[in-house]
Amino acid sequence: MRIAFLTAPEGVEEIELTRPWKAVEEAGWNPQLVSTEPGQVQAFDHLDRAGRFTVDHVLAGDTADAFDALVLPGGVANPDALRLDERAVGFTRGFFSAGKPVAAICHAPWTLVEADVLHGRTLTSWPSLATDIRNAGGTWVDEAVHVCRAADSTLVTSRKPDDLDDFCAALVEEFARQDR
């Protein structure tokens, strides 16, 4: 399976990128770093600069067709930038339209709010997004990980880096359902 990890050029929370990436690799799948600009993305450890990661694929009118699933890592600046980029929003929306699984952690559901894909879905996130999620038609819950299986697609969400063990296990399990 080919898994897209969508990030902005700057601001992704490093551990929310690297831990799910490793889980995807350990499952035998092919993670691909997708961004809105070529080159490298600058990750952060909260507010401090961390590692840089090479972009595998630059968005340019893409659809979800080239990938089997989507991971949206958090960080505050990352999803805030993505939600302002129509290519990123359309790319994200395409996974839901195609019935492909999506996983989002921490602040990443901001991109889902902008993609208008939360109507009737239950999810979790960093607590400050609860009102945004409710206003977008979703139901917010305070859980380490929540899996929402809808008729059109599956959404795996988690609150924060402390929940990464649960998040990674759930996304691998749900993505494996797609791989069958």
The string of pLDDT tens digits covering residues 46-98 is 888 999 999 999 998 777 899 999 999 999 999 999 999 999 999 999 999 99
Above pLDDT 90, what percent of the chain? 91
| Active-site hit among 106, 146, 148, 168 | 106
Check pLDDT > 90 for residue 178: no
pLDDT score of 10 more than 90: yes
All residues at 6 or more sequence positions from 112 whose CB lies less than 8 Å from its CB, including other chains: 72, 92, 102, 104, 118, 123, 136, 155
Look at residue 31 in the predicted model and tell me its pLDDT. 98
Taking alpha carbons only, the member of 46, 9, 27, 10 closest to residue 103 is 27
**Kind of pairing between the strands at 40-45 and 10-13:** parallel
- In the CATH scheme, what is the code of domain 2-179? 3.40.50.880
Q: Is 108 helix (H, G, I), strand (E, B) or coil?
A: coil
Ordered by start, the domain boundaries in the chain are 2-179
**Burial status of residue 49 (CB atoms within 10 A of its CB: 0-12, 13-18, 19 or more):** exposed
- Type of residue at 100: K
Using pLDDT thresholds of 50, 70 and 90, give the confidence band for residue 180: low
- Is 46 among the residues known to form the active site? no
The pLDDT score that the predictor gives to residue 136 is 97
- Tokens representing residue 47 in the block: 């507010």
106 is known as an active-site residue:
yes
User: Annotated catalytic residue: which of 46, 107, 146, 148?
Assistant: 107
pLDDT of residue 154: 96
Q: Which residues pair with 58 in a beta bridge?
A: 35
Q: From residue 80, give the alpha-carbon distance in Å to each of 26, 74, 75, 129.
A: 29, 10, 9, 12
Q: What is the pTM of this model?
A: 0.96
Degrees (nearest 5) of the Cα angle 134, 139, 145?
125
H-only helix segments in the chain:
14-26, 77-82, 86-97, 109-115, 130-135, 164-179
- How crowded is residue 142: how many other Cβ atoms within 10 Å of its Cβ? 10
